[in-house]
Copies of this chain bind each other. A is one copy, B any other.
Amino acid sequence: MSGPILALCGGIGGAKLALGLYHVLEPQQLIVAVNTGDDFEHLGLSISPDIDTVLYTLGGVADRERGWGRSEETWNFMTALRELGGEHWFQLGDRDLALHVERTRTLREGATLTMFVERVARALGIDAQILPMTDDRVRTMVNTDEGDLEFQRYFVERRCAPAVRALRFEGASQATPAAGLCRALSDPTLRAVVICPSNPYLSIDPILAVPGVRMLLAATTAPVIAVSPIIGGQAIKGPTVKIMAELGISATNESVAAHYRGLIDGLVIDDIDADSGEGAGLDVPVLATRTLMQDLADRTRLAEEVIAFAERLAAATSAPEPSHAVGI
């Protein structure tokens, strides 16, 4: 069981489990494929919020209080930008800005996002492989009761206030998955795929919308485990529950299991929901544990349990039936 583990994730919530996996595994065994549907161009800069959260989190420079951006951050760029009358609805810290300026320059010079992320990961001393889901342009558009909004306009500028009617991932159908993502999903030694407790609709669906990913995920022999972002009908952070309600979906683990049906071999839910009997109705193997990750110990424990769960599922699947054993 020394093959790689592939994690699919968005930003903050998903990055927590990715960090747990990073601590539990040999770093080189971890591959994290990250949503880029949230990426956008702002002030002429190319910004990749989810990628950056994963980089900062695994690089040990993420801000813990705020949940996004860098620790020991200052905001003098924003102050000066406001003085100049610049657009200031999206907060860019002074340290954080280095990443955006370098990314913009590098992409403009012809590098891929994969190449840039690899370079930054190395600079931050990260030994795991962090991959954008694609090097092509995919942009999550939020159709709301106020019309179409680019994701960051909806998420940051409007603080998720407009009611969501539908989500679409512009450019996804023309995109190619990152080479490393295809490689990982096709790797016969792949040990498990972990769908992190990110927003299924905003953070995981864009990854699944890149042609080939869903099929490769369904076809992989490795167990695919999703960790539900729902605990007791609530999401830890972000608009997951609000969006589910607006889309007419009940905020339950059943909904999450149904959303990932055909893709996952197991679902990890919180003890709270298991205790209230929610897990019983699920048509997929379930691991009930504490999924709330408040500190590093929570992250590593959950990571360990997810891996052990995946290994149990893999053993159950690959264990030869007695008749076969006799037959051989």
Contact = CB atoms under 8 A, between A and B. Distances in A.
Copies in the complex: 2
Nearest to A116: B84
A43 B102 contact: yes
A73 interface: yes
A40 to B, nearest CB: 14
A232 to B, nearest CB: 39
Contacts of A98: 77-78, 80-81, 83-84, 86
| Chain A interface helix/strand/loop/mixed | helix
A320 interface: no
B44 A119 contact: no
A283 B155 CA distance: 70
A94 B81 contact: no
B43 A83 contact: no
A45 interface: yes
A194 to B, nearest CB: 28
A299 interface: no
A163 interface: no
A98 B92 CA distance: 11
Contacts of A73: 76
Given A45-B101, A101-B43, A124 B83 contact: yes
A236 interface: no
Given A84-B99, A95-B76, A43 B105 contact: yes
Determine which residue in A44, A78, A81, A105 has the highest number of CB atoms from chain B within 10 A of its CB, and name it.
Answer: A44
A85 B123 contact: yes
Contacts of A80: 70, 94-99
A79 interface: yes
Contacts of A86: 98, 101-102
Contacts of A43: 101-102, 105
A147 to B, nearest CB: 24
Nearest to A100: B101
